[in-house]
Amino acid sequence: MSHPHPELTAPPALAPGTMRIVPLGGLGEIGRNMAVLEQDGKLLIIDCGVLFPEDHQPGVDLILPDFEYIRDRLADVVGVVLTHGHEDHIGAVPYLLRLRADIPLIGSQLTLALIEAKLKEHRITPLTLGVREGQTEQLGPFSCEFVAVNHSIPDALAVAVTTRAGTVLHTGDFKMDQLPLDGRITDLRAFARLGEAGVDLFMVDSTNAEVPGFTTSEREIGPVLDQVFAGADRRIIVASFASHVHRVQQVLDAAHRHKRRVALVGRSMVRNMGIAKELGYLNVPAGVLIDIKAVSDLPDNKVVLMCTGSQGEPMAALSRMAGNDHRIRINRDDTVILASSLIPGNENAVFRVINGLTRLGAKVVHQGNAKVHVSGHASSGELMYCYNIVRPKNVMPVHGETRHLVANADIAVRTGVPRERVVMAEDGVVVDLVDGIAKVVGAVPCGYVYVDGSSVGEITDADLKDRRVLGEEGFISIVVVVDSVTGKVLAGPEIHARGFAEGDEVFDSVRPKIEQALAEPAAQGSIDPYQLQQVVRRVVGGWVGGKIRRRPMIIPLVISA
């Protein structure tokens, strides 16, 4: 484990009257959002999400924040505030509660319902506290006021955390849609009131900081979906995030207008929309929603399938459909709508799915060729508006890759925040707020924690490097039997290769080289098997690199007989 600023040392002991902020994820990446606030020996956590793996992390299921910083202080945690129900903000909660099951979870009704359903699968019954906008709760030394914000999931909240060290306003993910589908706008009046009282540190969503202007309203998607539905002659398959209640609502409404029936595909989609419907966040027109088993009884022009997989996730429904590995087969002239934006790092996976669907004869509608999705994050114009309303003393951009954080910082400076009062931090960088000034005081180890099947944190970067080598360069095993007294080769070398276009006979020319190399240490009286294995690895590695231009994984086995 390491932190991105080797020049920073461990932070000093926390001085009285100081609030410490330590981001453990979400800064320098889109995902695994988590921040730890400390005051008077107590810890408050804001969000605890996952990051989804990229191509260079083969076999990894999820990436968690690094809990090592708080592992020995779990008894000091007074609660986890969850700003909203997206996986990159709640997905790591089960793994945190494995360490201490009774940490209170604080969030809105929908957010808590989604995390409770997830925790049920992990056989964890959480301690929860439901809150609404306008509500204030005292959690140890932290007074938390919750503020309504608009996002691509209902019931999102910002949180203003006040202690004797000052006030930190954390936006969570937000935008300023003035015509949201649920009528719940970002409460700028509360932002202004908090600003008048004094916001010492403003932690602001950076995802769309590079995007000029204002984010398009969700309502503009409806007419586009209507147009696509009207032009579709066969089945319509819509892929979205399993938690995007607003987008599912628009699909249900469009299907109702065009006399189609909708079936939900994917376990997480069925679970989340069931919760949203039960709590009143999803209004299902009568007779529109059907079970997936009933789809085969309807003509293609009366069917809509709402599924997961808009980011090209390998095991999600749409990806499996594109690979002909799902019970639902893509037919020629089906219409597939990818109703989400591209998360950075997922581009290749998404394009792979689009190409697969197109190859099967489907018409694919996506953000690149139609307005079928709008972002859930504030663009630069909205961020500037917020800075002018709040007038914070200090700013700390959060939730974004480095380029997003830098763009957000520049917006803050343009609105009058002094450059020295804009804190550019990354995961593991420790920021202290004291006397109205926020500054970097050190860093703590903060690496990636990989979930790989049932293992958590056991897979290392070295293991992933081995997997990449196996996948890209191949594998060679060499077995040699040597005399335990003389070191003379008795059998072999027997060579087997995987992942090579060439047959095993290509290695015939290297066998004499191996025997010759083994003879040298044997002549000197050295027949240590480990040393001989290194000799074999060196000879084969050099030969394969020069002859075949590959750098495979090489596993030598020298047996003394």
93, 193: one domain = yes
Note the pLDDT of residue 208. 92
93-139 confidence digits (pLDDT tens): 999 999 999 999 999 999 999 999 999 988 999 999 999 999 999 99
Domain boundary among 394, 419, 448: 448
The residue from 448, 481, 510 where one domain ends is 448
51 and 195 inside one domain: yes
Domain assignment of residue 399, given as a range: 19-213+376-448
Q: Residue 521 above 80 pLDDT?
A: no
Shared-domain flag, residues 52 and 144:
yes
> 82 vs 452, which has greater pLDDT?
82
pLDDT of residue 2: 35
Question: Is the residue at 59 inside a domain?
Answer: yes
Q: What is the pLDDT of residue 471?
A: 61
On whether both 355 and 382 belong to a single domain, the answer is no
Same domain, 262 and 194: no
Domain end position, chosen among 365, 392, 423: 365
Position with higher pLDDT, 279 vs 510: 279
Whether residue 544 lies inside any domain: the answer is: yes
Q: What is the pLDDT of residue 268?
A: 85
**Whether residues 80 and 202 fall in one domain:** yes
Shared domain for 204 and 222, answered yes or no, is no
Same domain, 287 and 354: yes
Residue 194 lies in a domain: yes
**CATH number of the domain where residue 72 is located:** 3.60.15.10
90 shares a domain with 234: no
Do 192 and 232 reside in the same domain of the chain? no
- pLDDT of res. 260: 93
Name the least confident of 170-179, 323-332, 383-392: 323-332
Per-residue pLDDT of 388-409, as tens digits, reads 999 999 999 999 999 999 999 9
**2 located within any domain:** no
Averaged pLDDT, 179-206: 95
Which has more pLDDT, 32 or 492?
32
The residues pairing with 38 across neighbouring beta strands, listed in sequence order, are: 20, 43
Classify residue 14: in a domain, yes or no.
no
- Do 497 and 475 meet the contact criterion of CB atoms below 8 Å apart? yes
CATH code for position 490 = 3.10.20.580
Any idea what the Cα angle at residue 224 is, between residues 328 and 347, rounded to 5°? 60
CA distance linking residue 148 with residue 184, whole number of Å: 8
Residues 209, 168: one domain? yes
Do residues 43 and 161 both lie within one domain?
A: yes
Q: What does the pLDDT read at residue 503?
A: 64
The CA-to-CA distance between both ends of the chain, in Å, stands at 42
Residue 461, CA distances (Å) to 1, 320, 464 in order: 9, 28, 5
Residue 3 lies in a domain: no
Are residues 398 and 426 in contact, defined by beta-carbon separation less than 8 angstroms? Answer: no
CATH for 320: 3.40.50.10710
Q: Which helix (H) or strand (E) holds 111?
A: helix 109-121
Q: Kindly report the average pLDDT of the chain as a whole number.
A: 86
With respect to residue 422, please indicate whether it lies within any of the assigned structural domains. yes
Quote the number of domains for the chain. Answer: 3
In a domain, 92, yes or no: yes
Supply 52's token pair.
Answer: 């989804």
